[in-house]
Amino acid sequence: MSKPVKTLLRKELIRRLAGADSLTVLSLAGVDGVAGNRIRQQLKAKDIRLTVVKNSVARQALKEVDLAVACELIEGPCALVIGGASPVAVVRQLLELAKEAPTLKVCGALMEGVVFGPDRVDELGRFPTREEALANLAGMMLAAAGRLAAIALAPGSRVAGAIKAMADKAQEN
């Protein structure tokens, strides 16, 4: 590949990576063309973009957009995966696809400056997505508010119960 072509590819990759704080590295070794296209279509439907580039070009682009820590994940034939609702959702989708295509391998991911190597990708897939985390937080806040309301109302109900008991006792006498 000529130097001007590599420069164009690097600039395009820099444009795609601009503003990204997370990415996933995927190994497509052993995946045939038909399976590769099916994988791309499924990812595109979820607004996830898969880009196959030469490793040296990928490393240069990652360094230029301050994602150099992800360079350690690039080894052998691989692709960069960016986009999606959240990095966790992307990893979950890729792990699901890896079940269908056994030769597909998630090499690692970068999420907000933290590198998850191949041994920790499954762990990242079990993290809650942003939406799930917000829902859990809202549930905890509502539960706490409910407990607070119950505590605030408890003394009043005890007083009312005592008054009722005294009234019942007075009626019996």
Pick from 60, 55, 56: which is nearest to 14 by CA? 60
Residue 170, CA distances (Å) to 20, 160, 162, 164 in order: 75, 15, 12, 10
Is the distance from CB of 95 to CB of 106 less than 8 angstroms?
Answer: yes
pTM, 2 dp: 0.69
Q: Would you state the pLDDT for residue 153?
A: 67
Is the distance from CB of 38 to CB of 76 less than 8 angstroms?
Answer: no
Q: Would you state the pLDDT for residue 97?
A: 87
CA–CA dist 24, 89 (Å, integer): 11
pLDDT averaged per 10 residues in sequence order, the chain, 173 residues: 85 86 87 86 90 89 89 88 85 87 86 85 74 76 72 68 77 77
Q: How many CB atoms lie within 10 A of CB 26?
A: 28
